[in-house]
């Protein structure tokens, strides 16, 4: 059985060709507001993955309408999935979460949700809410795992453990929700063998999709400060070397796990390292090269 493409997987799940639309709903994160930690994960700069029309300067409805306008001109007969991506998208009182998710689903042609969150922000009330929505629409819960190594989680100030991620993935999947795992490759102090262990451990869990990418050192982060001062070493790999690692990873993942993405491309003005200067399609060509 050949591995399904992510776009085909979404099409099958939602019963229609869909485009994900980023929504920034004004959440914060317990690792920034002092509830779990201060200052956030050392590599985190949310501006690197929030497109202009997905900034929390307008309502969820307006963001979705603006984004739809952008895509409607490009693709005919498209449906949409609201992607709550920035910060921790289950970190608010349950009534507020319900209001925001319902607002997104009330927009014409929005047929489902992708909710990105931390594993320690998936309490029973949140899962019940998502489970209820999932009965009518489909919900993917994208859980930030990053690594299966607690020593690394501590080093990057994630303020949750690998066990916490395992527990959350199992609990969410048991409720019939689709679970996506997010991993970062090349975290400080990790060898390729460490990364393979993470991949193997995640593959044992009821994960339906995996999104992984290379660690990027971004301006304005604590990681950047540590890296510039030489206090932290990060891998100095080329795009070709990274593509080789991706091939190794994919070859050991079961065919039923869908690969959503394997590279990240932060805006050039934010990216300090590694500066490959590649668009995702250009990286794909390197990956596909014999």
Q: Given the rule CB under 6 A, which residues bind ligand SF4?
A: 29, 31-32, 40-41, 44, 46, 87-88, 118, 144
Alpha carbons 249 and 247: distance in angstroms, whole number: 5
Could you please report the per-residue DSSP string of 207-226? -SEEEEEE--EETTSHHHHH
Minimum CB distance to ligand SF4 smaller for 46 or for 284: 46
CB of 87 to ligand SF4, least distance (A): 4
CB of 156 to ligand SF4, least distance (A): 8
Minimum CB distance to ligand SF4 smaller for 36 or for 138: 36
| Neighbour count for residue 105 (Cβ, 10 Å) | 18
Alpha carbons 260 and 282: distance in angstroms, whole number: 16
Rounded to a whole number of angstroms, the CA Rg of the chain reads 18
CB of 248 to ligand SF4, least distance (A): 25
Q: Which residues contact 95 (CB under 8 A, 6 or more apart)?
A: none
Q: Is 83:71 a contact under the CB 8 Å cutoff?
A: no
Alpha carbons 123 and 131: distance in angstroms, whole number: 12
Minimum CB distance to ligand SF4 smaller for 24 or for 134: 24
| The length of the chain, given as a count of residues | 290
Minimum CB distance to ligand SF4 smaller for 13 or for 210: 210
Tell which residue, 273, 41, 45, 46, has the closest CA to residue 155: 41
Alpha carbons 18 and 45: distance in angstroms, whole number: 27
Secondary structure (H, E, C), 160-225 = CCHHHHHHHHHHHHHCCCEEEEEEEECCCCCCHHHHHHHHHHHHCCCCCEEEEEECCEECCCHHHH
CB of 91 to ligand SF4, least distance (A): 9
Minimum CB distance to ligand SF4 smaller for 37 or for 72: 37
Q: Is 239 helix (H, G, I), strand (E, B) or coil?
A: helix
Alpha carbons 76 and 137: distance in angstroms, whole number: 22
CB of 44 to ligand SF4, least distance (A): 3
Q: Which residues pair with 288 in a beta bridge?
A: none
Minimum CB distance to ligand SF4 smaller for 84 or for 287: 84
CB of 29 to ligand SF4, least distance (A): 3
Minimum CB distance to ligand SF4 smaller for 86 or for 209: 86
Q: Which residue is nearest to ligand SF4 (CB)?
A: 40
Q: Which residues pair with 80 in a beta bridge?
A: 19, 110
CB of 117 to ligand SF4, least distance (A): 8
CB of 41 to ligand SF4, least distance (A): 3
Q: Which residues pair with 214 in a beta bridge?
A: 185
Minimum CB distance to ligand SF4 smaller for 32 or for 149: 32
């Amino acid at each position: 059985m050949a591995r399904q493409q992510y776009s085909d997987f979404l099409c099958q799940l939602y019963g229609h060709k869909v485009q994900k639309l980023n929504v920034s709903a004004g959440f914060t994160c317990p690792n920034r507001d002092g509830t779990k930690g201060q200052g956030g994960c050392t590599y985190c700069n949310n501006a690197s993955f929030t497109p202009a029309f997905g900034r929390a300067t307008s309502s969820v409805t307006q963001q979705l309408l603006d984004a739809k306008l952008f895509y409607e001109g490009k693709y005919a007969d498209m449906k949409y999935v609201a992607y709550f991506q920035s910060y921790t998208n289950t970190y608010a009182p349950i009534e507020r979460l319900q209001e925001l998710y319902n607002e997104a689903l009330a927009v014409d042609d929005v047929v489902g949700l992708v909710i990105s969150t931390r594993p320690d922000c998936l309490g029973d009330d949140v899962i019940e809410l998502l489970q209820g929505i999932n009965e009518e629409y489909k919900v993917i819960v994208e859980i930030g795992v990053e690594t299966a190594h607690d020593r690394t989680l501590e080093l990057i100030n994630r303020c949750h453990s690998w066990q916490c991620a395992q527990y959350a993935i199992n609990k969410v999947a048991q409720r019939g929700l689709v679970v996506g795992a997010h991993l970062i490759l090349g975290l400080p102090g990790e060898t390729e063998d460490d990364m393979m262990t993470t991949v193997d451990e995640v593959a044992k869990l009821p994960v339906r999709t995996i999104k992984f990418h290379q660690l990027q050192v971004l301006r304005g982060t604590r990681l950047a400060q540590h890296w510039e001062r030489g206090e932290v070493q990060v891998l100095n790999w080329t795009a070709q070397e990274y593509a080789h690692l991706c091939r190794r990873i994919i070859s050991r993942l079961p065919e039923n796990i869908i690969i959503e993405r394997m590279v990240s491309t932060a805006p050039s003005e934010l990216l300090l390292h590694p500066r490959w200067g590649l668009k995702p399609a250009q990286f794909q060509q390197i990956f596909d090269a014999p």
